[in-house]
Amino acid sequence: MTNEKIQSVNKLRKEEHNLIRLFDKGVIDVHEYDEKVGQVREKINELNKAYMKEKREEDLRKYNEVKKMAEEKKAKATKVKQEKKEEPKKIGTKPKADSMASLIANELVKKGVKNADKVADNIIQKTPDADRKKIISKTKVIINECKKGKGRWKNYTWDDENYLLTPKE
């Protein structure tokens, strides 16, 4: 409610209170009291109705603003989510050059390596702290993935006779 309406409601309340005091003192009779108090209360009700209408409109406006902001936020989130979906996933990324898989692949590409033990020996010469069992098991995994054409190893072929890993052309 605006200040003017608040002040006018306060004046009407004071007027109503004065009428009650005058009636209690016997200055005005019942008929006059009922008539004047009824008029004052009608004016108060009219002002309250106007205030409630303004309040409803303001609340509705605020609600619509919040709803619009929520819809914009949801639309933005959906757009970002769709953009993320559209980004291609990196499949078969190359490992680091000093990783165990790279070292094993480099050994398997060389001619003259006849088995997983020989691969493990060559890698241990380069990195003495490497675990022999892990190297042998990883070598077998890489060979099986080459045979099945999985992951980054789908770009290679495996030759069992020569124990040789060759890139596909």
Nearest CA to 113 out of 150, 166, 74 is that of 166
Q: Which pLDDT score is estimated for 61?
A: 95
d(C-alpha 33, C-alpha 140), whole Å? 106
pLDDT, residue 146, reads: 87
Q: Where are the domains of the chain?
A: 3-86, 100-167
* pLDDT value for 89: 57
Q: Which residues of the chain have pLDDT under 70?
A: 1-2, 86-95, 97
Q: Per residue in 84-119, pLDDT tens? A: 776 665 555 566 767 888 888 888 888 888 888 888
**CB crowding 27-63: b at 16 or more within 10 Å, else e:** ebeeeebeebbeebeebbeebeeeeeeeeeeeeeeee
Give the rounded distance of the alpha carbon of 107 from its chain centre.
46
